[in-house]
């Protein structure tokens, strides 16, 4: 089994040959720091709308090195941290409109991939979440009734039998499914998007770490890019900038992938619709059936490293790998039989950015030309596209519907200093773990430990 080495997704298609680094000082109209989906979508839409604009992207390793080349491949319609807490300030109509835009963004990504001939193994099979005990079932039903109160609601509550017919997950008590989600191969999307940007004339420099962003410039030891607009698109790595160290907490998430599974196993499991799949646990899992019939399964792993340290090429703690292996067999007992026991081909981790209120943001300071987007927690695959389009509109001073969505220019306070940050995050996840175990033993409602953890974190998990 490979452990680390960025991700299975990159190993599957082959590590990229890196593009030339920045070799001298350069002038541009827009400089984007970070070549993940956020940076690349921003560059892409800028050049679509303003072909003459000089757009330079600086990337510390290679395009798609971060979460964009490592994620679970859920192109889904999540609004990070949920919609409800925006209602008091913006009203249900505007928040509902935001949700509609995110739903449409799933289709925009699919359409753009078709336009640019990017084959990212996309199948729009919807998002499916299951409950596996009474407390999870209660949360699932509460979620379904809260969804039903929105005009654009189209989530379907499924009985245990209906849910098991979709995907035979052991112990399923019920499910919820909605159509606004697709499975993707993340690295294929990142690679294709970077190539599409270059075809439009975007210049991407790799192996170029930006050490400082100041108004009108991004500095690296290779040189400086001077630009009217500098966009920070570094998400989970943002803590490495001294001035933004406590803005978004870098959180790890980990995945394992099996070898391709034989037809006999798929006949037992089902999963013909290729839906992306998760559960209602506080420390939830997320999974996809890959184009070559593997299961890729993700979960929280070791959540946080002291001092907001970010990455080691995705190398994953043995304990996390074993926990994911055990979870796989618990979900799909057929994989525990000697005849079908799969090997794990690869385990890896990635880093994502968590704001203090768990809500993503995108914005531009018109005075300084500094722009940003991120804090998507684990739900940025779709939102990065909306962020990229929004940043392009803001830079070009286009007053559009999306430049007024509730997350635009949303600000929140910083995280606590260390060691409080480390202690709080570890305590939170220990509490969520204990709550999940107590719910699995038969609690009928959400464990008070989880409610306490929600109160500390400021968000329901």
Ligand X SMILES: Cc1cc2nc3c(=O)[nH]c(=O)nc-3n(C[C@H](O)[C@H](O)[C@H](O)COP(=O)(O)OP(=O)(O)OC[C@H]3O[C@@H](n4cnc5c(N)ncnc54)[C@H](O)[C@@H]3O)c2cc1C
- Residues in the site for ligand X, rule: CB under 6 A? 33-39, 58-61, 65-68, 70-74, 76, 209-210, 233-237, 240, 253, 255, 286, 298, 350-352, 374, 376, 378-382, 384
308 vs 384, beta carbon nearer ligand X? 384
Residue 186: CB minimum distance to ligand X, A: 7
Q: What is the largest CA-CA distance in the chain?
A: 64
Nearest to 54 by CA among 231, 232, 201: 201
Residue 347: CB minimum distance to ligand X, A: 11
Nearest to 191 by CA among 327, 6, 361, 346: 6
Residue 382: CB minimum distance to ligand X, A: 6
Q: Residue 135 corresponds to which tokens in the numbers above?
A: 């407390």
Residue 59: CB minimum distance to ligand X, A: 5
Residue 366: CB minimum distance to ligand X, A: 22
What is the spatial distance between Cα 12 and Cα 23, in angstroms, rounded to a whole number?
A: 31
What is the spatial distance between Cα 306 and Cα 329, in angstroms, rounded to a whole number?
A: 32
Nearest to 377 by CA among 2, 12, 119, 76: 76
253 vs 403, beta carbon nearer ligand X? 253
Residue 251: CB minimum distance to ligand X, A: 8
The CA–CA distances, whole Å, from 329 to 108, 174, 338, 375 equal 36, 19, 12, 32
Q: Residue 145 corresponds to which tokens in the numbers above?
A: 């009734």
Q: Residue 204 corresponds to which tokens in the numbers above?
A: 């991407």
Residue 435: CB minimum distance to ligand X, A: 22
Tell how strand 156-159 and strand 174-178 pair up: antiparallel
172 vs 379, beta carbon nearer ligand X? 379
54 vs 205, beta carbon nearer ligand X? 205
303 vs 342, beta carbon nearer ligand X? 303
What is the spatial distance between Cα 129 and Cα 285, in angstroms, rounded to a whole number?
A: 10
327 vs 449, beta carbon nearer ligand X? 327
- Name the strand (E) or helix (H) holding 428: helix 420-440
Residue 219: CB minimum distance to ligand X, A: 10
Tally the residues of the chain: 461
372 vs 447, beta carbon nearer ligand X? 372
What is the spatial distance between Cα 22 and Cα 417, in angstroms, rounded to a whole number?
A: 34
375 vs 443, beta carbon nearer ligand X? 375
133 vs 316, beta carbon nearer ligand X? 316
Tell how strand 370-374 and strand 223-232 pair up: parallel
CA terminus-to-terminus distance, the chain: 32
What is the spatial distance between Cα 122 and Cα 287, in angstroms, rounded to a whole number?
A: 15
Three-class DSSP category at 211? strand
Residue 341: CB minimum distance to ligand X, A: 25
């Amino acid at each position: 089994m490979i452990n680390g080495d960025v991700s299975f997704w990159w190993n599957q298609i082959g590590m990229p040959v890196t593009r030339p680094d920045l070799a001298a000082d350069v002038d541009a109209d827009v400089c984007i720091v970070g070549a993940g989906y956020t940076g690349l979508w921003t560059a892409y839409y800028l050049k679509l709308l303003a072909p003459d604009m000089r757009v330079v992207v600086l990337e510390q390793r290679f395009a798609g090195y971060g979460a964009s080349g490592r994620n679970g491949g859920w192109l889904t319609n999540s609004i990070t941290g949920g919609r409800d807490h925006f209602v008091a300030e913006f009203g249900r109509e505007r928040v509902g409109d935001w949700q509609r835009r995110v739903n449409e963004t799933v289709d925009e990504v699919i359409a753009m991939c078709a336009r640019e001939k990017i084959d990212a193994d996309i199948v729009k099979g919807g998002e499916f979440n299951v409950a596996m005990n009474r407390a999870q079932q209660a949360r699932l039903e509460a979620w379904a009734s809260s969804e039903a109160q929105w005009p654009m609601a189209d989530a379907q509550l499924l009985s245990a039998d209906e849910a098991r017919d979709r995907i035979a997950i052991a112990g399923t008590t019920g499910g919820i499914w909605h159509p606004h989600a697709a499975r993707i191969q993340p690295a294929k999307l990142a690679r294709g998007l970077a190539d599409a940007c270059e075809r439009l004339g975007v210049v991407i420099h790799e192996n170029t770490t930006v050490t400082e962003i100041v108004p009108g410039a991004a500095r690296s030891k290779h040189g400086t890019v001077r630009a009217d607009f500098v966009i920070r698109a570094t998400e989970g790595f943002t803590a490495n900038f001294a001035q933004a160290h406590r803005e978004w907490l870098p959180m790890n998430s980990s995945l394992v992938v099996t070898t391709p599974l034989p037809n006999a196993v798929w006949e037992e499991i089902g999963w013909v619709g290729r839906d992306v799949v998760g559960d209602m646990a506080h420390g939830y899992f997320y999974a996809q059936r890959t184009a070559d019939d593997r299961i890729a399964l993700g979960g929280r792993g070791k959540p946080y490293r002291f001092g907001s340290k970010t990455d080691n090429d995705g190398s994953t703690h043995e304990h996390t790998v074993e926990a994911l292996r055990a979870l796989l067999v618990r979900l799909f007992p057929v994989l525990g039989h000697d005849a079908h026991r799969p090997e794990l081909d690869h385990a890896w981790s990635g880093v994502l950015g968590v704001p203090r209120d768990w809500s993503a943001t995108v914005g531009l300071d018109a005075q300084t030309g500094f722009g940003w987007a991120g804090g998507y927690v684990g739900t940025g695959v779709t939102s990065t596209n909306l962020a990229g389009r929004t940043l392009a509109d803001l830079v070009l001073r286009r007053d559009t519907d999306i430049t007024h969505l509730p997350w635009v220019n949303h600000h929140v306070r910083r995280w606590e200093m260390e060691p409080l940050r480390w202690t709080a995050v570890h305590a939170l996840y220990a509490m969520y773990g204990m709550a999940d175990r107590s719910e699995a033993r038969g609690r009928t409602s959400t464990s008070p430990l989880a409610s306490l953890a929600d109160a500390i974190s400021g968000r329901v998990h």
